[in-house]
Amino acid sequence: MLGGLFALPAGGLPKFIWLSAVFSVFNTVQCMVAPLGMSRRIYSQQPHQVTPLTSHVFAAWTALSAVLRYQCAFNMGNEVLYDITFWSYVIAGTHFVSEIVVYKTSKIPGPVLSTFCVAITSILWMIKDRDIYIK
């Protein structure tokens, strides 16, 4: 009976988005519990700029992203939710590119690479499969 409540739509994209939501929850907890740990690794070129406050703000953004991604994964046919989730990946990807290229707070290779890969993969996959889910 409960299986239908937790069933993801068909296809790989909903599963990928759901997994991204799960990892976002872990990242949120990590930024709240140990605010200087992972954040300083991501922004390794300027670790002195990472404070508990910046880490907590990052956690809040990541928590919002997790909620969007989770809801989108289960409601792939909701055009507004799909588009907002898409743009959340664009914002995340743009943020990390700017931190690498403009502000020089992160570098590749480094922990930022996995986050950037998830953002790019999500953006491209959501563009490719949009017509499958949004009718």
Tokens representing 42?
């991501």
The terminus-to-terminus CA distance of the chain in angstroms comes to 28
Q: Check residue 3 and give its pLDDT.
A: 46
pLDDT at position 2 is 46
Residue 47 has a pLDDT of 83
Element containing residue 124 per DSSP (H, E): helix 112-133
**pLDDT of the residue at 65:** 96
Check if the beta carbon of residue 120 is closer than 8 Å to that of residue 93: yes
Which one has a higher pLDDT value, 15 or 2?
15
Residues with Cβ < 8 Å from 11, sequence gap 6 or more? Answer: 76, 129, 132, 133
